Protein backbone atom coordinates (compact mmCIF):
# COMPACT_ATOMS: atom_id res chain seq x y z
CA UNK A 1 0.00 0.00 0.00
CA UNK A 2 1.36 3.40 -0.81
CA UNK A 3 1.67 6.05 1.84
CA UNK A 4 -0.60 8.30 -0.24
CA UNK A 5 -3.40 5.71 -0.10
CA UNK A 6 -3.19 5.34 3.66
CA UNK A 7 -3.09 9.13 4.14
CA UNK A 8 -6.24 9.47 2.01
CA UNK A 9 -7.93 6.77 4.06
CA UNK A 10 -6.92 8.49 7.31
CA UNK A 11 -8.30 11.86 6.13
CA UNK A 12 -11.62 10.32 5.09
CA UNK A 13 -11.87 8.34 8.31
CA UNK A 14 -11.10 11.43 10.40
CA UNK A 15 -13.82 13.39 8.57
CA UNK A 16 -16.32 10.56 9.10
CA UNK A 17 -15.55 10.28 12.80
CA UNK A 18 -15.74 14.00 13.45
CA UNK A 19 -19.11 14.24 11.68
CA UNK A 20 -20.97 11.26 13.12
CA UNK A 21 -19.52 10.88 16.62
CA UNK A 22 -21.37 11.76 19.79
CA UNK A 23 -20.45 15.30 20.79
CA UNK A 24 -17.02 15.54 22.40
CA UNK A 25 -16.06 11.87 22.01
CA UNK A 26 -13.67 11.98 19.02
CA UNK A 27 -10.09 11.20 20.04
CA UNK A 28 -6.99 10.79 17.94
CA UNK A 29 -3.70 9.60 19.41
CA UNK A 30 -0.33 9.20 17.78
CA UNK A 31 2.19 6.89 19.35
CA UNK A 32 3.75 3.99 17.54
CA UNK A 33 0.50 3.81 15.55
CA UNK A 34 -2.28 6.28 14.81
CA UNK A 35 -5.35 5.43 16.88
CA UNK A 36 -8.76 6.99 16.24
CA UNK A 37 -11.54 6.49 18.74
CA UNK A 38 -15.06 7.84 19.09
CA UNK A 39 -18.51 6.95 20.33
CA UNK A 40 -21.60 6.76 18.16
CA UNK A 41 -24.95 6.41 19.91
CA UNK A 42 -23.10 5.22 23.00
CA UNK A 43 -21.08 2.52 21.19
CA UNK A 44 -17.30 2.89 21.10
CA UNK A 45 -15.42 2.58 17.83
CA UNK A 46 -11.62 2.23 17.72
CA UNK A 47 -9.34 1.77 14.72
CA UNK A 48 -5.56 1.57 14.63
CA UNK A 49 -3.64 2.59 11.53
CA UNK A 50 -0.19 1.07 10.96
CA UNK A 51 2.98 3.07 11.41
CA UNK A 52 4.72 4.48 8.36
CA UNK A 53 7.33 1.74 8.39
CA UNK A 54 4.80 -1.11 8.52
CA UNK A 55 3.22 -2.26 5.28
CA UNK A 56 -0.40 -3.30 5.11
CA UNK A 57 -2.76 -3.57 2.18
CA UNK A 58 -5.37 -0.89 1.69
CA UNK A 59 -7.95 -3.67 1.33
CA UNK A 60 -6.99 -5.07 4.74
CA UNK A 61 -7.37 -1.66 6.42
CA UNK A 62 -10.71 -1.13 4.69
CA UNK A 63 -12.01 -4.55 5.75
CA UNK A 64 -10.85 -3.97 9.35
CA UNK A 65 -12.77 -0.67 9.45
CA UNK A 66 -15.92 -2.30 8.12
CA UNK A 67 -15.59 -5.09 10.67
CA UNK A 68 -15.16 -2.59 13.51
CA UNK A 69 -18.08 -0.46 12.38
| C-beta of residue 9 within 8 angstroms of C-beta of residue 62 | yes
The pTM of the full predicted model, rounded to 2 decimals, is 0.71
End-to-end Cα distance, the chain: 22
| C-beta of residue 46 within 8 angstroms of C-beta of residue 36 | yes
Give the count of domains, the chain: 1
Residue-range definition of the domain harbouring residue 23: 3-68
pLDDT tens over the chain, length 69 residues:
577 888 888 899 899 999 999 999 999 999 888 899 999 998 999 988 876 555 567 777 778 777 877
Cα(30)–Cα(44) distance, integer angstroms: 18
Q: Angle 48-44-28 (CA atoms, 0-180°, nearest 5)? A: 45
CB atoms within 10 A of CB 17: 19
Amino acid sequence: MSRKDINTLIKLFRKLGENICDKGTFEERQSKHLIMKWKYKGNTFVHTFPSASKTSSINHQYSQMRKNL
